[in-house]
Structure 1
Amino acid sequence: LLPGVEVSTRDGHLLAYGVAEAPPRHRDLETTADWVRDHGGEPVIAHPFRWRHGAGGRLTAVAHVAGIEVRNAHNSAAANRRAEEWAELRHLAARGGSDVHVLADVGRAVTVFPDPVAGVDDLLEAIRTGRTRAAGASMSFGGRLGLLVSNGAKFVARGLRPV
C-alpha cells in the first residue's frame, strides 16, 4: 500500500503520497504541492475536471506536481477523458483511484505500475518519473446523480457547512 492523503487546497483537491503527516489545508495548490515534496512525498492533482473540488482552473501548477488523477471511479467518463488528454499533452504521470466512500467501491479505478515495485520508494519513484497508467471504471450518470443527492442531504444535515 502507498500511504497518502487527499487534502483540500484553495484551488482544488491534491493527493499527497508518501508523507508521514497531512499537509496544512486551504493553502494554494502550488504551496501545498511544494510542502508535499519538501516532506519526501509526491503530489498529484486529484479529479482535476470535477465541477466541485477540481483544480481545473489552476492546472498551470503542473510544474509543482508529479501527476494527475486521470481515472477516478466517482467521475463521469467525460471528466476522466478530459483529464487523460490533459495529462498526455503535458507528459505527466497518469494515476487512477477509486475515491472510496463505501467499501464496495474499492478497486473500481486503480493506478497500474508496469515495472516491478518492491516498496513505497519504488512506487513514489514510478509516480515521480511518470511510469504509471490508470485503469478502471467511471461513474454512470445515475450513480453521479445518486451521489449528488446523498452528498446534498449530508451537507444540509451539517447545517450547510463544508467538510
Structure 2
Amino acid sequence: MAVNLLKTIALFALSSLLIFKGAVGDLMCEELPVELCAYSISDAGKRCVLENYLARKGIVKYQCKTSEVVVETMSGWIETEACINDCGLDRNAVGISSDYLLSPNFVAKLCSQPCSSYCPNILDLYSNLAQAEGNILCTNIITYQHYTGNAENITT
C-alpha cells in the first residue's frame, strides 16, 4: 500500500513538473524534487546531482544541485524509471562517480540491450566517465560461455 502511494506521489510530482516546465520553459536542478534529481539534465545542459548534508540534530537531508558536468547532446531531461531499472541504477545515488564501473555486473547491466539501446542519457554519462579513465564502455564485454558452460558477462 505504501509503495503504491509513493509511486502515485512520484508520478504526480513528475506530471506537475512537466506541466510547470511546459508553462515556464526552464528545468532547473535546484527546483527538482530529490526523487527526480539523479540522472536529470537541466535546460542549460548541466547534469543534476543529488547531494546530502547534515541538518540540525544530525539528520541527513538531500538536495538537488546543478553540477559543472555539461551534456553536449541533450538538455531538459528527466530520466525515466524504465531506464533507471533497465540500467541497474539507484535514483537515490548521491554524486556522480565512476566507482560503479569497477563492478562487472553493473557494466553488464549498462551494456545490456534495453539500457544501451533506449537510454542515451545514461550511456552518455557512464561512457564519458569510463573514457575519462582511459576505458571504452560496452566494447569490452565478452561472453565466456565455452569456459563456464553458462553465458557470463566479463569485462576485459
TM-score, normalising length: structure 2 = 0.26
Of Structure 1 and Structure 2, which has the larger fraction of its residues in strand? 1
Q: Which has the larger radius of gyration?
A: 2
* Larger helix proportion of the pair: 2
